[in-house]
């Protein structure tokens, strides 16, 4: 083979290798893009399924709450606006299921079809229940018990969990496929590059025997390239066929280097996106923990809803400012809100120190509770100590010369209640039950700057606090309640104390509850010798 033919052959082989490398790198890019697209679709399906599950659960809870009303005593049918809103919710869920069906792959389509069919039956049962409510009691009851409950249970606990498992598996497979693609595509590119380099070296070395000094110079350049970094290029100042070969070789190296840079940039972008997703998830968790108890927020984050829970032993505290209505007429709105913010911020600090859960504020009323969502046995004692600090703080602010002085009433009751989260937008954690009404009634019947206790709370705290029995209070349901007012700690628990909390109080608290008190009224520290 002549030198010209050998050089021509070498040139053709080099072009083939260049095309092979370019094609392989292009194919690698397409493969990664396809894998990432599959991961994005699986993530979208998972988010949509979660939204559908939440919407169906909320809608079924609404129907269940209506169903708790005795249908045979319903005064009238539901308002047309409420029925229309229920229809709009149902249509929105159906539209989401249709979108999920479009996004589904072959493996999931049968499950989505089953979801669509079951939801169609459930929506029809909802519509029948709303239209029959207050009109045809038997038909409404049948729709509730025979259709909506079984269908919703099947959808929420059979069909959707199967979809979620499939979606989790798709996401897991997509992540696994992406990792595998990265692994073998990187090695394929390196192997092809290595083989290409070896082929070029072999051809060059065979040509060197016939090119004498020129090939010797090329050999020296290639030896230098092998001992340098990946950015090294062959430099041969000739304009003959060898120069053409050198140019092609350098171009091939540039292309491979550029491709590697692009792959590195793609990996970096993916890592940044994953870090951003994790940051957003952490921010969402922090936000939930700020507006909900930790255990309730975790349940909402995991399940997408919060099941109502019955608590048989909770202490509820209601506070209300005396003379607040008259202040609203004298103070500007900005000053009034600022004053309430200052008071309630201090209330928040006090209740947090005693392990109480703030529930809400309504106007100038402040509501909190002890013993939920996590149970504990000392919450009546802790609640009374918190109330003592609140009253002392209010009295102290009034004595400091404030022109806008107010007194405060506090009512405390211990009993059973139901706690849960209500609403779909701007949701809140709230409590319901007769115990809540009793606590509110105790607060409204309390004297200014006094703590009024129910008999149930008194029996739990009488070994720690001196209390005075008052006449019975009549509730809204005409039930008479025996109430007590708190005078202070039992003297034997706080006399001759030299530490906070006093040793006698601490000893009794540990004996009753096998733990130390979470806090103690701070104003007692001023009485230390």
Most confident range (mean pLDDT) of 392-406, 427-441, 506-520 is 506-520
Q: What is the pLDDT of residue 78?
A: 65
Q: What is the pLDDT of residue 173?
A: 80
Report the pLDDT averaged over residues 468-497.
79
Structure tokens at 389: 């600090």
- Flag whether pLDDT at 281 surpasses 80: no
Question: When comparing pLDDT for 292 and 329, which is higher?
Answer: 329
Q: What is the pLDDT of residue 422?
A: 75
> Confidence class of residue 451 from pLDDT cuts 50, 70 and 90?
very high
Burial call 506-520: b when 16+ CB within 10 Å, e when fewer: bebbeeeeeeebbbb
Q: What is the pLDDT of residue 208?
A: 63
Beta carbons within 8 Å of 403's beta carbon, 6+ residues apart: none
Q: Please write the tens of the pLDDT for every residue from 207-234.
A: 666 566 555 655 655 565 565 555 656 6
- DSSP alpha helices (H): ranges in 68-159? 80-103, 106-132, 137-142, 149-154
Q: Answer whether the bond into residue 501 is a cis peptide, omega within 30°.
A: yes
Q: Please write the tens of the pLDDT for every residue from 78-124.
A: 677 777 777 888 888 888 888 888 878 777 778 888 888 887 887 77
Q: Please write the tens of the pLDDT for every residue from 160-209.
A: 887 788 778 877 887 887 777 778 777 777 787 778 778 777 877 776 66
Residue 332 sits at the vertex; the CA angle it makes with 336 and 317, to the nearest 5 degrees, is 15
What is the rounded average pLDDT for all residues in the chain? 78
Q: Please write the tens of the pLDDT for every residue from 236-247.
A: 566 666 666 666
- Of 31-45, 351-365, 450-464, the range with the lowest mean pLDDT is 31-45
Q: What is the pLDDT of residue 293?
A: 66
């Amino acid at each position: 083979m002549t030198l010209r033919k050998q050089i021509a052959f070498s040139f053709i082989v080099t072009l083939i290798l260049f095309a092979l490398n370019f094609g392989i790198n292009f194919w690698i890019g397409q493969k990664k893009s396809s894998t990432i697209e599959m991961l994005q679709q699986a993530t979208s399906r998972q988010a949509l399924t979660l939204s559908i599950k939440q919407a169906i659960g909320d809608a079924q809870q609404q129907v269940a709450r209506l169903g708790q009303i005795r249908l045979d005593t319903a005064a009238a049918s539901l308002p047309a606006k409420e029925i229309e809103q229920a229809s709009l919710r149902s249509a929105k869920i159906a539209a989401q299921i249709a979108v999920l069906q479009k996004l589904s792959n072959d493996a999931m389509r049968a499950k989505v079809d089953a979801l669509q069919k079951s939801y169609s039956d459930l929506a029809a049962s909802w519509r029948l229940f709303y239209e029959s409510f207050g009109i045809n009691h038997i038909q409404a009851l049948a729709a509730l018990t025979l259709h909506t409950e079984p269908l919703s249970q099947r959808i929420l606990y059979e069909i959707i969990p199967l979809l979620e498992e499939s979606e989790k598996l798709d996401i897991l497979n997509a992540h696994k496929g992406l990792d595998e693609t990265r692994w073998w595509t990187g090695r394929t590119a390196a192997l092809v590059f290595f083989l290409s380099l070896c082929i070029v070296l072999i051809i060059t070395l065979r040509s060197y025997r016939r090119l004498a000094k020129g090939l010797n110079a090329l050999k020296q350049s290639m030896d230098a390239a092998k001992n340098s970094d990946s950015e090294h290029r062959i430099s041969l100042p000739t304009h003959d066929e060898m120069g053409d070969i050198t140019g092609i070789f350098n171009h091939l190296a540039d292309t491979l280097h550029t491709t590697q840079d692009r792959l590195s940039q793609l990996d970096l972008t993916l890592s940044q996106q994953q870090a951003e997703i994790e940051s957003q998830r952490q921010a969402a968790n922090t936000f939930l923990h700020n507006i909900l108890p930790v255990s309730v927020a975790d349940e909402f984050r995991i399940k997408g809803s919060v099941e109502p829970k019955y608590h048989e032993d909770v202490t509820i505290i209601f506070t209300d400012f005396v003379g607040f209505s008259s202040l609203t007429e004298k103070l500007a709105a900005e000053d009034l809100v600022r004053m309430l913010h200052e008071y309630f911020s201090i209330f928040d600090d006090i209740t947090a120190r005693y392990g109480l859960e703030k529930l809400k504020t309504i106007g100038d009323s402040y509501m909190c509770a002890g013993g939920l969502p996590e149970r504990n046995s000392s919450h009546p004692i802790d609640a009374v100590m918190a109330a003592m600090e609140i009253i002392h703080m209010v009295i102290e602010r009034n004595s400091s010369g404030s022109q806008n002085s107010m007194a405060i009433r506090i009512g405390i009751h211990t009993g059973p209640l139901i706690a849960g989260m209500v609403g779909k937008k701007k949701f809140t954690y709230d409590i319901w039950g007769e115990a809540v009404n009793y606590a509110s009634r105790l607060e409204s019947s309390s004297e200014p700057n006094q703590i009024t206790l129910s008999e149930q709370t008194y029996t739990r705290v009488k070994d720690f606090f001196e209390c005075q029995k008052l006449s019975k209070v009549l509730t809204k349901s005409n039930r008479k309640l025996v109430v007590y007012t708190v005078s202070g700690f039992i003297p034997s628990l706080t006399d001759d104390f030299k530490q906070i909390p006093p040793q006698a109080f601490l000893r009794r608290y540990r004996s009753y509850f096998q733990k130390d008190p979470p806090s103690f009224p701070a104003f007692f520290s001023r009485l230390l010798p």
